[in-house]
């Protein structure tokens, strides 16, 4: 089990979003169980060479989503709510699905065409795992 997060300056994803994604992934995979302490904001900023403000933004977003809890003077920990990270991922899924539907309308795709594309993508992702 590792607390390391791998952040990339070359990624088109903003640094704070990379942190959110990686913390969510660790929580969903069970690497960070409820109560697991997260690195302190200053510690993660120093290790990652990212500003304290960026780390704080990521932690605030995770806290708002109910994935982590912060205790004054003690730090941040994975929340006891097991469904919190799933709820965040479901919100992201819904946002991407809405974008997919808008793109499908722009391309004037019929619903059955969209379903074929989605089914094919799901099949491909199942084969990769």
Asked if residue 1 has pLDDT above 50, the reply is no
Overall number of domains in the chain = 2
Give the pLDDT confidence of 66-93 residue by residue, as tens digits: 889 999 999 999 998 756 667 767 777 8
Claim to verify: residue 20 and residue 37 sit in the same structural domain: yes
The pTM assigned to this predicted structure is 0.66
Q: Answer yes or no: is 2 within a domain.
A: no
Q: Answer yes or no: is 3 within a domain.
A: no
CATH number of the domain at 53, please: 1.10.10.10
The domain of 36 spans 15-78
Claim to verify: residue 73 and residue 103 sit in the same structural domain: no
Claim to verify: residue 72 and residue 49 sit in the same structural domain: yes
Q: Answer yes or no: is 1 within a domain.
A: no
Q: Answer yes or no: is 99 within a domain.
A: yes
pLDDT of residue 106: 95
With contact defined as beta carbons under 8 Å apart, do 102 and 109 qualify? no
Q: At residue 68, what are phi and psi to the nearest 5 degrees?
A: -125, 160
Q: Answer yes or no: is 5 within a domain.
A: no
Asked if residue 44 has pLDDT above 50, the reply is yes
Average pLDDT, whole number, for the chain?
88
Claim to verify: residue 53 and residue 99 sit in the same structural domain: no
Q: Answer yes or no: is 9 within a domain.
A: no
Alpha helices in 1-129 (DSSP H): 15-28, 41-48, 52-64, 84-106, 111-128
Claim to verify: residue 58 and residue 88 sit in the same structural domain: no
Claim to verify: residue 57 and residue 99 sit in the same structural domain: no
With contact defined as beta carbons under 8 Å apart, do 49 and 87 qualify? no
């Amino acid at each position: 089990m590792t607390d390391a997060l791998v952040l990339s300056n070359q990624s088109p994803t903003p640094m704070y979003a990379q942190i959110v994604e990686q913390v969510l992934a660790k929580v969903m995979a069970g690497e960070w169980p409820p109560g697991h302490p997260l690195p302190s904001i200053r510690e993660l900023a120093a290790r990652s060479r990212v500003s304290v403000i960026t780390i704080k933004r990521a932690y605030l977003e995770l806290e708002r989503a109910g994935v982590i809890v912060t205790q004054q003077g003690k730090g941040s920990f994975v929340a006891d709510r097991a469904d919190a990270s799933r709820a965040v991922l479901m919100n992201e899924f819904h946002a991407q699905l809405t974008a997919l539907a808008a793109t499908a309308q722009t391309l004037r795709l019929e619903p059955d065409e969209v379903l074929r594309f989605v089914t094919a993508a799901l099949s491909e992702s199942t084969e990769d795992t």
